[in-house]
């Protein structure tokens, strides 16, 4: 027994100032004040056996069980308190505190609001309602963030681009394969970003199953040095154009984090070229084919301690199709853009 417990035990064994021996409830209260919640609960239990219809005893034991983190027992005592004295706010207050510890914030809020109905002047209950309301919102948002992090469905978010592909490429087999390739690349990048807050700087190629020499040409090429300077940028572009041509690539998809790019830093543009996504971190995904090319910037933020790609939804500005930073390919109908990001030529003759 600790020194504090020893003093408490001595205190509760003495007689009260009036000469009468302290009741089991009062003894339990003394042990509770001293922080000996186990002994307090035991004394409340003895008192309940003598007076099983006393709501105060159940309320006090509920408080002791809560301190001992015996939450199910605490909740049962709170419910008994309410049953025995349904218009006493203390029972609902105890229930609310226990449900808060269980992180059942919606139910806890209901309990505290009921307590306030029976004692509208209680500042303690009002503070609890304010606190639990915020905890409930935080928990709900954390659950939403977890759901968004785990449910990465890029196909759904690229519906408009899918329609555009189908309109510009007559062969369904052709555009379907490219779309699946793009979706797979983007989903892998997003999952990597969620898990590690980074993506590998690479170009992924959709190789021709019949013509590509797979022993010579890999479907992935690291380009982590490509954005260090105008020279490295130009050299990488030339290399990738040759690689795409020689490997008979049907499409290409570049993934690069914003933080690695020293050139070109298009987010520093002004006027009509002004970057619209603030200082948000994130990564680019550039798709290129003989008939269509696009670039997306996928912004990222930290929410509830977790990295989250900010999707297209009523709440966020998200996967944004950008034509302000795009590529120029060798195709029958070339398209001009405000900026050139990285040139990868995909020849239409390989389709």
Q: What is the pLDDT along the chain (351 residues), one digit of tens a residue?
A: 444 444 444 444 444 445 568 899 999 999 999 999 999 999 999 999 999 999 999 999 999 999 999 999 999 999 999 999 999 999 999 999 999 999 999 999 999 999 999 999 999 999 999 999 999 988 888 887 777 777 788 888 888 889 888 888 777 888 899 999 999 999 999 889 888 889 999 999 999 988 999 999 999 999 988 888 888 888 888 898 889 989 999 999 999 998 888 877 767 766 666 677 777 888 888 898 888 888 888 888 887 777 877 654 322 223 333 332 333 333 323 222 333 345 554 544 443
Q: List CB contacts of 159: < 8 A, sequence separation 6 or more.
A: none
> What pLDDT is recorded for position 269?
64
> What pLDDT is recorded for position 270?
65
Q: Is 123 helix (H, G, I), strand (E, B) or coil?
A: helix
Please count the other Cβ atoms lying within 10 Å of the Cβ belonging to residue 197: 14
How many residues are given for the chain? Answer: 351
Residue 308 pairs in a beta bridge with 301
Q: Is 10 exposed, middle or buried (0-12, 13-18, 19+ CB in 10 A)?
A: exposed
Q: Looking at the domain that runs over 3-148, which CATH code has it been given? A: 1.25.40.10
List the one residue out of 89, 99, 29, 101 whose CA is nearest residue 55: 89
> What pLDDT is recorded for position 350?
41
Q: List CB contacts of 198: < 8 A, sequence separation 6 or more.
A: 192, 257
Angle between helices 3-13 and 24-33 (to 10 degrees): 160
Q: Which residue has the tokens 């099983």?
A: 52
> What pLDDT is recorded for position 321?
36
The CA distance from 277 to 321, in Å, is 12
The CA distance from 166 to 177, in Å, is 11
> What pLDDT is recorded for position 341?
47
CATH 1.25.40.10 domain locations along the chain: 3-148
> What pLDDT is recorded for position 138?
85
């Amino acid at each position: 027994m600790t020194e504090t417990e020893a003093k408490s035990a001595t205190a509760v064994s003495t007689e009260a100032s009036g000469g009468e021996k302290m009741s089991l409830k009062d003894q339990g209260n003394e042990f509770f004040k001293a922080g000996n919640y186990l002994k307090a609960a035991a004394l409340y239990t003895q008192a309940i056996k003598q007076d099983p219809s006393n709501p105060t005893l159940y309320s006090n034991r509920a408080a002791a069980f809560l301190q001992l983190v015996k939450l199910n027992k605490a909740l049962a005592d709170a419910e008994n308190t309410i049953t025995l004295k349904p218009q006493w706010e203390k029972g609902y207050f105890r229930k609310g505190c226990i449900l808060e510890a269980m992180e059942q914030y919606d139910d806890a809020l209901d309990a505290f609001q009921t307590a306030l109905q029976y004692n509208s002047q209680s500042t303690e209950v009002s503070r609890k309602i304010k606190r639990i309301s915020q905890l409930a919102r935080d928990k709900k948002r954390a659950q939403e963030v977890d759901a968004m992090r785990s449910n990465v469905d890029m196909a759904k978010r690229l519906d408009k681009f899918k329609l555009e592909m189908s309109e510009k490429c007559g062969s369904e087999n052709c555009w379907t394969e490219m779309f699946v390739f793009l979706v797979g690349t983007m989903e892998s990048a997003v999952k990597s970003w969620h898990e590690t807050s980074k993506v590998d700087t690479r170009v992924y190629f959709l190789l021709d199953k019949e013509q590509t020499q797979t022993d010579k040409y890999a479907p992935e090429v690291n380009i982590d040095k490509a954005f260090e300077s105008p020279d490295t940028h130009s050299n990488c572009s030339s290399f990738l154009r040759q690689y795409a041509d020689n490997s008979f690539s049907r499409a290409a998809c570049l993934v690069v984090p914003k933080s690695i790019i020293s050139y070109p830093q298009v987010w520093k543009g002004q006027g009509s070229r002004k970057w619209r996504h603030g200082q948000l971190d994130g990564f680019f995904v550039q798709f290129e084919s003989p008939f269509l090319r696009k670039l997306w910037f996928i912004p990222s933020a930290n929410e509830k301690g977790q990295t989250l790609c900010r999707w297209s939804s009523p709440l966020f500005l998200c996967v944004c199709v950008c034509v302000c930073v795009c590529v120029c390919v060798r195709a029958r109908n070339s398209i001009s853009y405000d900026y050139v990001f990285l040139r990868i030529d995909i020849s239409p003759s390989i389709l």
